[in-house]
Amino acid sequence: MEYHGQPESASKPNTAEVSVYPDEKTLMRRVDWNILPLMTVAYMLQFLDKTALGYTTIFGIRESLVIMPAYAMPRRSLTRNQNLVGDQYSWAASAFYFGFMVASYPVSLCFVKLPIGKFLSLTFISWAVVLACHGATSNFAGLMVVRVLLGVLESTITPGLSLVTSLWYKRSEHASRHGIWFAGNSISSIFGGLLTYAIGHISNSVQPWAWIFIIFGILTFAYGVVLLIFLPDSPRTARFLSKEEREFIHKRAQQDTHTTVSYKWSKSQCIEALIDPKTWLIFIYAMGSCIPNGGVTSFGSIVVSGFGFSTFNTILVQLPMSIFTLIYVTAATVITSKLRKSRCITAAVLELISLAGCLMVSQIDPQDKLARLGGMWLFPAYSASIPIILSVIASNVAGYTKRTTVSAVMFLGNCAGNITGPFLFFSDETPVYQSAWIGIMISLAIAFVALLVLRQLMDFQNRYRDRQQNVKIDPESESSGVTETVEAVALDADETDWENQSFRYYL
């Protein structure tokens, strides 16, 4: 891709000033404590709700769902005689992502048209109601309906939180902040496993799998109200900041990418996003990473149970997977925050770790269940690459409409992968699923290659612009902080990374 033109500073006058805040570190620490916990718990509950179906598999939902409503059923244990037969469970698992995919583009429009804090909070409350309704389903058709609705509503949260991060923080801070709230994913798995273990011991006329949906829904509803009260729409509406602090935070983040909140959809930015090859490399990465995610999220409990563990022990031995995921996310966050130009490389290495885990599960003797279980603990490393790539979008895609469009395309890839994943697990291969592991390894390899190509493309474009402008600009140098003057653009301008020729990409 060729770029033409002079550095912006040669074509536009200084148009704004940003005063240096006397105690910026203290102010940003206050922002962290007010914003990051809200996002982390929100993401924790989102992941808990999305994966609730996986928890219910070992409590009999596949056997019971087509017989009668949960409240009318006798209690029964898990057997191989499935009444939610054949590929029906795969369809139920994938239905969530059909809703997610259908909603991706409308949601990107809503991010531009609506106040983001209120929009996220209201969708949070809405999906809590839908999740609780899962407990009242009595057949496959009913389950499909609520799964699709849940996907539509939950499609807001990950791109929404990524967008919120980009509004509050500089590009150099994106990787660490994305990593912090994405850690809610790992916390969710630990919390969800323990909570499910406790719920499984409830003994009354309601099935344990129904209680899982109901209790998770109640928790999410309550937290949605908290978000509605405390999550600001932008720095300029934050009640915990003074007027001067709001303006400083807004300008501090905006001047770094020349992107500001806009309630007007830009057709030109949308087209630019769709013809940018980086967008489609991100799509390929997302699909490659989420095929494993969709499959193992839905069938992981069945796979581990197939190693020879009892129902409750299956829950317990999966807890280390969550702990390992937290370790991967934490390590990736530290590495990408401390080492320059390390984001794409770190994400690619995480894909390789997951690939090693797949090899262990699929190739080690089935009798050696502890070694295969170790492979399952290595497997979730790929998930730690997701916040890294979200930070790549937040840092490297300038223009409010373009950024929301690229995020939507990434989550289309996310949906395509998560829809495909469960269908790699053929019911006649239970519990080994050899075909599934082969497909997952191919997907991880494709994601690995896409990340390396993405990095090389961004590096090429950085060097090309340096040559065109006869200047070397390193966006990741320690000196690229807030300066007293902002050259080249009015602070309320909304330029894309193609339009702003002084823009350089984080690698």
Most confident of 5-14, 66-75, 368-377: 368-377
Amino acid (1-letter code) at residue 157: I
pLDDT, tens only, 210-238? 999 999 999 999 999 999 999 999 999 99
pLDDT, tens only, 276-313? 999 999 999 999 999 999 888 778 878 888 888 887 88
| DSSP string over 39-85 | HHHHHHHHHHHHTHHHHHGGGTHHHHTTTS-GGGSPP----S--SS-
- In the structure, what pLDDT confidence band is assigned to residue 190 with cuts at 50, 70 and 90? confident
Residue 493 lies in a domain: no
| DSSP string over 324-381 | HHHHHHHHHHHHHHHSTT-HHHHHHHHHHHHHHHHHHHHHS-TT-HHHHHHHHHHGGG
Q: Give per-residue burial for 85-121: e unless 16+ CB within 10 Å, then b.
A: eeebbbbbbbbbbbbbbebbbebbebbbeebbbebbb
Residue 506 lies in a domain: no
Q: What is the mean pLDDT of the chain?
A: 85
Is pLDDT of 82 > 60? no
Residue 274 is predicted with a pLDDT of 96
Is pLDDT of 69 > 60? no
- H or E element, residue 486: strand 485-486
Residue 69 lies in a domain: yes
CATH number at residue 77: 1.20.1250.20
Residue 189 lies in a domain: yes
Residue 445 lies in a domain: yes
Distance (Å, rounded) from C-alpha 435 to C-alpha 432?
Answer: 9
Query: Shortest CA distance to 182 belongs to which of 165, 203, 206, 207?
Result: 165
Residue 260 is predicted with a pLDDT of 66
Residue 65 lies in a domain: yes
Q: How many domains does the chain have?
A: 1
Distance (Å, rounded) from C-alpha 42 to C-alpha 181?
Answer: 8
Residue 258 is predicted with a pLDDT of 61
DSSP character for 423? G
- In the structure, what pLDDT confidence band is assigned to residue 481 with cuts at 50, 70 and 90? very low
Q: What's the predicted TM-score (pTM) here?
A: 0.83
CA torsion sign, 425 to 426 to 427 to 431?
Answer: negative
Residue 221 lies in a domain: yes
Range of the domain at 446: 24-486
Rounded mean pLDDT, 254-276: 82
pLDDT, tens only, 299-349? 887 888 888 888 788 888 888 888 999 999 999 999 999 999 999 999 999
- In the structure, what pLDDT confidence band is assigned to residue 506 with cuts at 50, 70 and 90? very high
Q: Which residues pair with 17 in a beta bridge?
A: 485
Residue 498 lies in a domain: no
pLDDT, tens only, 421-447? 988 988 788 778 889 999 999 999 999
Secondary structure class of 20 (helix, strand, coil): coil
